[in-house]
Amino acid sequence: MTSIDQSHRKSWIKRHGVSLIAFIAIAAYVVFVEAVWGWGMVLREWQALGLSTVLLALSLLVSTSLVRAWRIYDYFPRQTAGRFTALFHLAQVHNLLNILLPFRSGETSFPLLMRSEFSVPLLSGTSALLVMRLLDLHALLAAAGLGLVVGKPQPQVWGMAWLLFLILPLIGFALKRPALVFARARFSGRVLKMVEGVEAGLPAHKAAFFRAWAMTIVTWGTKVLVFAWVLSLMQVTPLSAAFGGALGGELSSVLPFHAPAGVGTYPAGIVAGAAALGAGVQDMDGLAKAAVNLHLIVIVSALLSAALSLALHAVFPSPARKL
């Protein structure tokens, strides 16, 4: 092989590296689902639930992946301008790796991919990911807290505590400026460069922060409502238990002991959340079955989002990145 051929091959891999990862991840998921559950069993369960119901749930979940990608697009407007399909593609690869790999190790792919595809420095990509994950966790905990407050004997007191928790992101953003001023005055040299790198990954102003926060609420509000609706259709009652199951599964996925593809840990989170908010423990088999079925819907929605990103990236290719 000549040096020209080698250079051409490296250039092709560099241009299509994210797509290659996506193809490999999708294939791995397809094989994984067949090995663990079998696609025949999955389709039979969905027929019992109603294919139209499953398709609607999948469509809504895929739509949240577009909102999440737009949150990143809005977060880095200069680096991603005019390249939404490439960013959506990258976000779905990151999501697949995050679900597939254990202990949340897939998170490390985000700053690496952002540096490779959009020339975002590692520190900036990492700090942006941390902010977005904190907003995600806050939205989930706020939703879970609301469910707990409703059932408390003194809702006014607990409601005030919940409202205080709800505005924590605002307090955190307000502290950003004085914290950065303190850091600039205290540090110099390499440490100061690190501080500046972290700052570049934080929301630049209030409008950017509020947009990121609003898109987080839309994303998680939609997901939790869809999950609770599906669980209630699978006889997870009362409605509070269905919401508890939806929140429990998602909370398990953001914790560091997340298993590969969430096998075991995600359904266990659904069962625990549903039981905590009133699900009948006498029908644990039915509850476990509903949890596994919802988990399968989550996995397939991730696959569909990745497939959609590949299709959009092929039909509406983004301009080549600026070097």
Cα-Cα-Cα-Cα dihedral sign, residues 96, 131, 269, 227: negative
Q: Looking up tokens 């990492």, which residue turns up?
A: 126
Residue 198 pLDDT exceeds 60: yes
The model's pTM = 0.85
Residue 234, phi then psi, degrees to nearest 5: -95, 25
What local confidence, expressed as pLDDT, does residue 142 receive? 87
Determine the pLDDT at residue 213. 94
Over residues 108-131, mean pLDDT:
92
Whole-number percent of the chain with pLDDT over 70: 88
If you average pLDDT over residues 274-280, what whole number do you get? 85
Q: Which amino acid is residue 269, in one-letter code?
A: G
Write down the pLDDT at residue 36: 74
pLDDT at residue 11, as a whole number: 52
Give the 3-state secondary structure of 236-299: CCCHHHHHHHHHHHHHHHHCCCCCHHHCCHHHHHHHHHHHHCCCCHHHHHHHHHHHHHHHHHHH
| pLDDT for res 75 | 92
pLDDT at 12: 46
* pLDDT value of position 8: 46
Of 166-175, 242-251, 253-262, which range is least confident? 253-262
State mean pLDDT over 272-291: 84
Q: What is the pLDDT of residues 306-317, one digit of tens each?
A: 889 989 988 888
The answer to whether residues 202 and 130 touch, using CB atoms and an 8 Å cutoff, is: no
Instruction: Name the band, by pLDDT with cuts 50, 70 and 90, for residue 9.
Output: low
Is 90 exceeded by the pLDDT of residue 229?
A: yes
